[in-house]
Structure 1
C-alpha cells in the first residue's frame, strides 16, 4: 500500500524481536515494510563497561545517523536505551504497550543470599543495578557484564558467579526466562524499562501518522514521567537512577531513586498524582531528590565518572 517503510534495528535477537513485532503491527494496518539491521557501537565494543564509553545513546546513535542520512524511515528501540533528549529532527512516534518492568536474578542457587559472610559475586553492566544490589548486599562483589542477552546468559554459565541481573521483559520476549529466576521486586527499574519506542523523522508525516496508531497511552504517560525524572536528575551524566510510574485507578503511583555509585547513599521519593496532572510531575519529583542531597551526590558521581575516563 504505497510507500515501503524501512525499519531500522540493531542485530541482536532481542532487537530483531522488537523490530519484527512493530513490523507485524504496521503490516496489519496495510503497509509494506522491510527490516534494515544495523550494527551499533554498543554491540561492537564489548570490553568496556557502558558507563566508561562516555557516549549518550550508545545503542541508538548508529540508527539515528542512518535515519538522518535517509537509509531508514523508523527505528525501534528498548526505550530505556534512548537518551532523554532526542537528536534534532527525530521524534518519538509511539510507545507500545509496556511489558514487565522488573529486574530479575538469574542464579545458580540462592543459598548465598542467606549468608552475611558470603563474598558472593553478582554480574551486571548497569550502574543502577550495581548500586541497588550493593545497598542491599554490601558484602557482595559486583562485576561488569556486557553483550547481548544471549551472550550474557552464556557468561553466567561460564563464570563462577552466583548470578547476574537482567530485565525480565527482555528474557521473556525471546523465551529465555529461567523457571527459577528470582524477581527482584525491591529493585527500582530503569526509567522506561520494559517499554519499546518507535522514532521517526519529525518531517516524515506519513511515518508519524502510521506509527502513532501503535501508541499505548498509559505506557506513554508512565514512561514520560520516568524519563522526565531521569532527564532532570542526570543532566547528561550517567548515574544510578531508578524510576517507576504505575497506573492506579485515576492516579499514577511514582517511585524514584538516586544512589551513590557504591550503593551506600540512597535518596528516594514516592508520591501519588492524578493522571490528568502527570505532566511536569517527574521533574518535580527529581527536584525534590536534588533538594534532599541529590545535587551534592550528582556532583560526586560526575567527579567519579570523569576520573574513570
Structure 2
C-alpha cells in the first residue's frame, strides 16, 4: 500500500480565545497521533462587525466564510468551528471530516446576583433569536436586548451595562475557564442544533488530511448532530430562525426534541420523538416535516419575510 507523504497540517481558526482553544484541542489530538500541525488564525467579519445582529448581516455562515475562503485559496488545510455556527450546506469542495466528542450542550444565564426572575423589571442580553424567543416564551414581561461579539467581549459588555444577565453556551465558558459563580442552568431551553460540538472540515481533494482528521471523529456525536442539523436544514432556518434541536443517545435509542418559535416567543411548535440506529438517516427531516405541516411552515414563511426586511 502506497504511503501518503507526511506534511504539516495547517489548522485555520478564528482568532478569538475560544476559537483558538478549539484549534489547539484539535492540534493536540493530531499531534498525539503523530501528525505535524501549525495554527493559522484568521479574523472573521463576524468578529469585526459588532454593531449589527447576525441576522441583519445577510449571511448565515459569517463566522465560517473567511476560513472557507482561506481553505479554498490554499492558505490552510483544515478549519475548526463551533459546529452550531456552520451552515447546514458546506461550500463546494469542502467536506466534514470529524465531529469531536460533544461537550456540555446547555445554555446558561450569567447574572449579577440578587436576580428575581419573577419580577417584570428584568433585562436579559443575547444575540441569539433562539434564546430570545425561548426566554420571552417563558418570561413575556422581560426585556431582551441584543448582545454581540466573542465570548470575552460579551462577558465584558455584561459587566459594563445595567443588564440583569446574559445567556451563553455553557461549553464556551467552560472551555476557557470563564464560567463565573453566578450562573443558572437553563435546562428548559432547547439548545441550538449541534451546540457543544466541534467540527473539522477539509478540502474534499486532500486524502491525507481527510484520513488524519477522520481519526478524531466521535460517532455518537456525529449521528446526533447530523439529526439536529437535518432538522434545521429541512425547516430552512439557517442560523437565523428561532430553532432548537437536541438528539441524545440512551441505550439503543436516539431521543430527539425539536422546537420552532416565532420571534416574540408567543408561537411554539414542538416535537419529541425517538428512533433506533437503523433508521436515523431521515429522522431529523421527518421531525421537521411534521412541524411544518402542523403550522410551522406558515410561521417559517413569516419569519423569512420579517428577516428579509431587517436585512434591507
- Structure 2 distance, partners of 1:267, 1:27, is 45
- Structure 1 distance, partners of 2:201, 2:127, is 25
> How far off its partner does 1:110 sit?
5.0
- Structure 1 distance, partners of 2:278, 2:251, is 12
Matches within 5 A, 1:260-279: 260-279=262-281
- Structure 2 distance, partners of 1:267, 1:110, is 33
Change in 2 beyond 3 A, CA 1:189/1:28: same
- Structure 1 distance, partners of 2:248, 2:189, is 15
- Structure 2 distance, partners of 1:114, 1:134, is 13
In the TM superposition, what whole-angstrom CA distance separates every residue of 1:41-62 from its partner, at most 9, and x where no partner exists?
1011000001111112000000
3-state SS of 2:24 partner: helix
In the alignment, what sits opposite 2:118?
Answer: 114
**Aligned positions, number:** 307
3-state SS of 2:12 partner: strand
Contact 1:237/1:302 (CA < 8 Å) preserved in 2?
Answer: no
> How far off its partner does 1:307 sit?
1.6
- Structure 2 distance, partners of 1:244, 1:292, is 20
In the alignment, what sits opposite 1:97?
Answer: 101
Contact 2:85/2:239 (CA < 8 Å) preserved in 1?
Answer: no
- Structure 1 distance, partners of 2:182, 2:111, is 8
3-state SS of 1:276 partner: coil
In the alignment, what sits opposite 1:28?
Answer: 32
Matches within 5 A, 1:41-56: 41-56=45-60
- Structure 2 distance, partners of 1:81, 1:94, is 15
Structure 2: 5+ residue stretches without partners: none
- Structure 1 distance, partners of 2:14, 2:186, is 28
In the TM superposition, what whole-angstrom CA distance separates every residue of 1:237-271 from its partner, at most 9, and x where no partner exists?
72100000000100010000000001000000000
Contact 2:87/2:239 (CA < 8 Å) preserved in 1?
Answer: no
In the TM superposition, what whole-angstrom CA distance separates every residue of 1:1-24 from its partner, at most 9, and x where no partner exists?
820110000000000000000000
Matches within 5 A, 1:222-241: 222-234=224-236, 236=238, 238-241=240-243
- Structure 2 distance, partners of 1:251, 1:233, is 24
Match of 2:80 among 76, 79, 89: 76
> How far off its partner does 1:275 sit?
2.1
In the alignment, what sits opposite 2:186?
Answer: 184
> How far off its partner does 1:299 sit?
0.8
- Structure 1 distance, partners of 2:298, 2:114, is 36
Change in 2 beyond 3 A, CA 1:110/1:301: farther
Contact 2:232/2:238 (CA < 8 Å) preserved in 1?
Answer: no
Matches within 5 A, 1:185-200: 185-200=187-202
- Structure 1 distance, partners of 2:7, 2:305, is 50
Taking structure 2 as the reference length, the TM-score comes to 0.97
Contact 2:10/2:37 (CA < 8 Å) preserved in 1?
Answer: yes
> How far off its partner does 1:165 sit?
0.1
Contact 1:10/1:38 (CA < 8 Å) preserved in 2?
Answer: yes
Runs of at least 4 residues of structure 1 off by over 3 A? none
> How far off its partner does 1:235 sit?
5.5
> How far off its partner does 1:276 sit?
2.3
Please tell me the root mean square deviation across aligned C-alpha atoms, in Å. 1.1
3-state SS of 2:231 partner: helix
- Structure 2 distance, partners of 1:133, 1:235, is 19
In the alignment, what sits opposite 2:163?
Answer: 161
Which has the higher mean CA deviation after the structures are superposed, 285-294 or 172-181? 172-181
3-state SS of 1:60 partner: helix
